[in-house]
Amino acid sequence: MGIADSTSANRHNRTICLPFSQDNYECNILNPKDFRLCLDQRIELFPELFPDEIANGYQMKDIYRSKKQSILIRRIKIAGVAYTVRPSFIMPYLVGYVDEIEKALFLRKFDVPFWAISYVFGKDPMYWHRIEQSIGRNSIVGTTVKNPDDIPKNLAADEKHTRILGDKTYVATTVGSGCILGADVSRDAGEQALTDAYQVYKNEARSLNPAYSPETVNMDGWKATRKAWQSLFPAVVIICCFFQFHFSEVICKSTIGMERVREALESLSPTS
C-alpha cells in the first residue's frame, strides 16, 4: 500500500462513514482482504452511502494512523477520486469516540455548562462547544436522501415545544416517508419565524433537486404554520388535522366560550 498524502486539489467532503464494530475493527482493517470483504458487504447493504461510481468498482489507496485518535484509517479510490473510510464509532473529523461524546452532550439537554462538562469528561470547554455547534453542519435532507427523485412529495409538519437554555422555543420539524427531513429552531410561533425555520428544509431539498415542490403537507390547525408553508410552496395542498383545526377555529371564533367548545366536541362524538 502507498503512503497517505496530505494534499488534495479538491477539498469537497470525501469521507464515507460506514458501520464497523469497534471490537474487531483493527483486525479487519489491517488485512486488505478482510477489509475488502467488509467493504463489499456494506456496499451491498448500504449502496446509498457510496458514490454512484462504486458500481464500477474501487481500489485500495493507502492506510494511515490518525494522530487525533491513534486509530488506523483506510482510503479507497472510486473513479480516480480518493475517499476516506471512517468507522461509525468515530465522530466526524475524528474528534472523538461517539460513545464518549454522546454521554457528555446528553447533559446539554439540561443546560449543563461547557465548563462543567469539561470538568467531568476532560478536554477544554471550547472542545465541547465546537462539537455541539458541528451537529447542525450537515444537510438533513442531503444526508438522508441520495436520489433527488426520492424526496417525499407528501409531508407532515409540526412544531416541537421545547426550551433552550431555559427560554421557550420551537423546533419546526418536517417528516416524510418515515424519516425526519427537517428540524430547525424557531424563535417564536409567529408566521415569519416559522417561515424562516421551514425555509431550511426548502433550501436543503432544492439543493438536491432544484425543481422540488411537495404535493401535500399534513399539519395541525395553527394558522402561522399554514401561512409559512403556503409562502414557501404556493402550490402545496395543506391537509389539516380535522380535530385540531376544527377545535382551534371554535376557540378563535367563539363568543360564548366553553359552551361552543362542548358543542363542537359533541358533534364529533359517534351517535349511539
Asked whether residue 217 falls in the same domain as residue 144, the answer is yes
pTM assigned to the model: 0.62
Asked whether residue 26 falls in the same domain as residue 70, the answer is yes
Asked whether residue 181 falls in the same domain as residue 116, the answer is no
pLDDT in tens, 173-219: 999 988 889 889 898 989 999 999 999 999 999 988 999 999 999 99
Asked whether residue 41 falls in the same domain as residue 124, the answer is no
- Check whether 148 has a pLDDT greater than 60: yes
Per-residue confidence (pLDDT) for residue 7, from 0 to 100: 38
- Residue 84: inside a domain, yes or no? yes
Asked whether residue 158 falls in the same domain as residue 225, the answer is yes
Distance, first Cα to last Cα, the chain: 78
Q: Name the residue type at position 19.
A: P
Asked whether residue 62 falls in the same domain as residue 151, the answer is no
Domain of 215 in residue numbering reads as 140-240
- Residue 167: inside a domain, yes or no? yes
- Residue 6: inside a domain, yes or no? no
What is the full DSSP assignment across 3-31? PPP---S--S--EEEE---TTTHHHHHHS
- Residue 255: inside a domain, yes or no? no
Asked whether residue 20 falls in the same domain as residue 74, the answer is yes
Asked whether residue 210 falls in the same domain as residue 223, the answer is yes
- Residue 166: inside a domain, yes or no? yes
Task: Dig out the grid coordinates for 264 from the structure.
Answer: 363542537
- 168 or 164, higher pLDDT: 168
| Rounded-to-10 torsion of CA 216, 221, 225, 229 | 20
- Residue 110: inside a domain, yes or no? yes
Per-residue confidence (pLDDT) for residue 3, from 0 to 100: 40
Asked whether residue 170 falls in the same domain as residue 103, the answer is no
What CA–CA distance (Å, rounded) separates 92 from 88? 9
- Residue 270: inside a domain, yes or no? no
Per-residue confidence (pLDDT) for residue 259, from 0 to 100: 62
Asked whether residue 128 falls in the same domain as residue 145, the answer is no
What CA–CA distance (Å, rounded) separates 25 from 90? 12
CATH code, domain with 159: 3.30.420.10
- Check whether 114 has a pLDDT greater than 80: yes
Asked whether residue 77 falls in the same domain as residue 40, the answer is yes
What CA–CA distance (Å, rounded) separates 35 from 63? 11
Asked whether residue 87 falls in the same domain as residue 102, the answer is no
- Residue 272: inside a domain, yes or no? no
Q: How many domains does the chain divide into?
A: 3
Q: Decide which of 113, 134, 155 is a domain's last residue.
A: 134
Per-residue confidence (pLDDT) for residue 257, from 0 to 100: 53
